[in-house]
A and B are shown apart, each in its own frame.
Chain A
Amino acid sequence: MAKTGFSLEIKGLHVSVESKEILTGLDLSVRQGEAHAIMGPNGSGKSTLANTILGHPKYEVTDGRIIFGGKDVSKLETDERAKAGLFLAMQYPTEIPGVTFSGFLRSAMNSVQGRTEKRGDLLSVVEFRDIVEEKLKVLKMDSGFLERYLNEGFSGGEKKRAEVLQMMLLAPKIAVLDETDSGLDIDSLKIVALAVKRMSGPSFGSLVITHYHRILRYLAPDHVHVMLGGRIVRSGGPALARTLEAKGYGWLRERGGPRRK
């Protein structure tokens, strides 16, 4: 069966942070149009995976490949990966004082959409406003938000919404959401989950990393993976998430899941 669309194929990925191996041979495949979830306890390497996909310099790929749209992107600069259609909603979005959220968003959209000053096709302030206002409504965010400095003084929930807003505006082919649900109250969680859900379709693939089962109730991923000791130890359908919720991760460890030294 020939599959269409972009895919993110991770093969035998080993990643070290400060010479300590965190990912120990991870395999994963996410395709446009699919919704995936990765669950796993603290320290299993979930955030390392997320940051490595976008190429954070702290994470060193020692072996394996990250193939996106048929090309190995593991040597590409982070901005090139973003322009190719990858996105990461960060667990801890960094504060950047003095940079307004709106100015930043406009630069990001111009970059990702390949608009340049030279070509004279930069988004005008008006065009930009129209697009953003609509998305703000979906996320029930106030437009005053745009004039604030990037992530500075945002509450935990505001930061997460701001991440999802960026995802909606940049319209990636595949998005990784790193614990976007943690720190959200139930109302915010619903809003964020519905916004992610709205994006789903044949041209959007998602990889949701989470500790908790609750966001999965709203997102209903087709594929659930369990991560332990730096690799995927089990993959399954929605039923797997329910099993994990009931039984935790212990049974997977006892069944010989790899451990870190």
Chain B
Amino acid sequence: MLDFRLKSLEIFRRKAMPGWGADLSGIDFDKIVYYLRPQDRRGRKWTDLPADIKRTFDRLGVPAAERQFLGGVGAQYDSEVVYHNLRQDLEKRGVVFLDMDSGLREHEEIVGKHFGKVIPPYDNKFAALNSAVWSGGSFVYVPKGVKVKVPLQAYFRINAKNMGQFERTLIIADEGAQVHYVEGCTAPIYSTDALHSAVVELIAMPGAKIRYTTIQNWSNDVYNLVTKRAHAYKNSAVEWVDGNLGSKITMKYPSIFLKGRGARGDILSIAFAGRGQHQDAGGKILHLAPETTSTIVSKSISKDGGRATYRGQLLVAKGATNVKSNVRCDALLFDEKSRTDTYPNIEIKEKSATIGHEATVGKIGEDQIFYLMSRGISREDAISMIIMGFIEPFTKELPMEYAVELNRLIKLEMEGSVG
């Protein structure tokens, strides 16, 4: 591992900053603290948190113990017990669900074989940085034929390593296995770290199914630059469900390499860009085998001068016959100051492919607001309702408690934005 880290660091130093996406000139690599010992992190007190973060926790109704954790105070809370039971049940079935460091120690043969294979350090500058300095993240292995019914939530796996700024997650679903992994939560994640650069690697073996759900709401000064990629083998299915709120700049394009015949890939994402924020997100699907199918659905909302960019790549490689793919991106603009752009990149090398692409940009219609208000609903509630409707294709895929939280959060975002 040390060797891997050192090589990665070398690659990081050599690689240029990506010049094609959001403006990253504000990152000062010399000012970043690359590793904090858990005991140092725990030193932070609830009272040290900024008032607006505490207020938001209050409004969201996040329980006190959980808030402390979310605020980076690092306290334990009651779900530790829940998690303990869950873990016992999983262990019986051979499922491994550990933090990455423990995973590396306890399952060296599997980790060693797959770590950094889906996303090698030379993939991009930030993947290299992560490879060099990673700490925290999750390791999940689901054995052949095992279907995990309960979503695995990083949220439960409480320890200070959980929210590292350079998380590294590896999930392997063996043949015919199924797993749903959920990370993040809608409460704002307060962090003094200016840069978060995670790497997430998924491997879906033949017939396996992985869904990876993210909802993140970083505080507004964070650069959130994440590399997420999946390899999907024969007849497997991978789904990225990705919600991006908060942060200063997010660059994130979950990708799926469909490597085996009949594999399916779905990417469903929403981005919410408010004042001073740039959400540069999208998805990437590479059809590398015949009869593979995919969908990308991207929804973005820009308000108060925020900017949402959809950046997508769809490739149908030579030899990947009878591919079906559908891409849809919808943008909702709140005001004249806000901005949305779409950069779809489609490359098709097989004539048998069936590709659909649709993009819309809309504003919240005065007629829609009037309609709802004429039924006694306030302007603020009307607007939240329209927005919730707009992202409903996303929300309905979330576990219930996340959908409820997201609802509340959107309402909160709307407060004060309506005159």
A and B pair up: yes
B-binding residues in A (CB < 8 A) = 51, 54, 56-58, 77-79, 81-83, 87-88, 90, 93-94, 96-99, 104, 107-108, 111-112, 149-150, 166, 170
B368 within 8 A of A: yes
Main secondary structure of the interface of B (DSSP, over half): helix
User: What residues on A are CB-neighbors of B382 within 8 Å?
Assistant: 79
B371→A96 contact, CB < 8 A: yes
Known: A94-B371, A96-B372, A98-B391. A79 touches B377 (CB 8 A): yes
For the complex of A and B, the 6 pairs showing the least CB-CB separation, nearest first, are A98-B389, A98-B392, A111-B376, A108-B375, A78-B373, A112-B376
A57→B377 contact, CB < 8 A: no
User: What residues on A are CB-neighbors of B379 within 8 Å?
Assistant: 77, 79
Closest Cβ–Cβ distance, residue B382 to chain A (whole Å): 8
A149→B389 contact, CB < 8 A: yes
Q: Give Cα distance in the complex from A78 to B133, angstroms.
A: 56
B276 within 8 A of A: no
B390 within 8 A of A: yes
Partner of A79, one of B376, B391, B392, B393: B376
A111→B393 contact, CB < 8 A: no
Partner of A111, one of B368, B375, B390: B375
B370 within 8 A of A: yes
Partner of A88, one of B368, B374, B390: B374
User: What residues on A are CB-neighbors of B373 within 8 Å?
Assistant: 77-79, 82
User: What residues on B are CB-neighbors of A149 within 8 Å?
Assistant: 389
A82→B366 contact, CB < 8 A: no
Interface centre among A88, A97, A99, A108 (most CB of B within 10 A): A99
Chain A residue with the shortest CB-CB distance to B387: A98
Chain A residue with the shortest CB-CB distance to B393: A98
B319 within 8 A of A: no
B386 within 8 A of A: yes
Partner of B389, one of A79, A90, A99, A170: A99
Known: A57-B366, A58-B366. A99 touches B386 (CB 8 A): yes
Q: Give Cα distance in the complex from A149 to B393, angstroms.
A: 12
B21 within 8 A of A: no
Closest Cβ–Cβ distance, residue A110 to chain B (whole Å): 8
Closest Cβ–Cβ distance, residue A131 to chain B (whole Å): 15
A82→B376 contact, CB < 8 A: yes
Task: Known pairs A57-B366, A82-B374; list 11 more (Cβ under 8 Å).
Answer: A56-B370, A79-B375, A81-B374, A82-B376, A96-B368, A97-B389, A97-B390, A98-B388, A107-B385, A111-B381, A149-B389
Interface centre among A78, A81, A90, A108 (most CB of B within 10 A): A78
Q: Give Cα distance in the complex from A8 to B113, angstroms.
A: 78
User: What residues on B are CB-neighbors of A77 within 8 Å?
Assistant: 373, 378-379
Q: Give Cα distance in the complex from A54 to B367, angstroms.
A: 12
Chain B residue with the shortest CB-CB distance to A151: B371
Q: Give Cα distance in the complex from A233 to B391, angstroms.
A: 48
B365 within 8 A of A: yes
Known: A57-B366, A58-B366, A107-B381. A96 touches B389 (CB 8 A): yes
Closest Cβ–Cβ distance, residue B361 to chain A (whole Å): 15
User: What residues on A are CB-neighbors of B371 within 8 Å?
Assistant: 90, 93-94, 96
A104→B372 contact, CB < 8 A: yes
A111→B377 contact, CB < 8 A: yes
Interface centre among A81, A98, A104 (most CB of B within 10 A): A98
User: What residues on B are CB-neighbors of A111 within 8 Å?
Assistant: 375-378, 381
Q: Give Cα distance in the complex from A196 to B141, angstroms.
A: 62
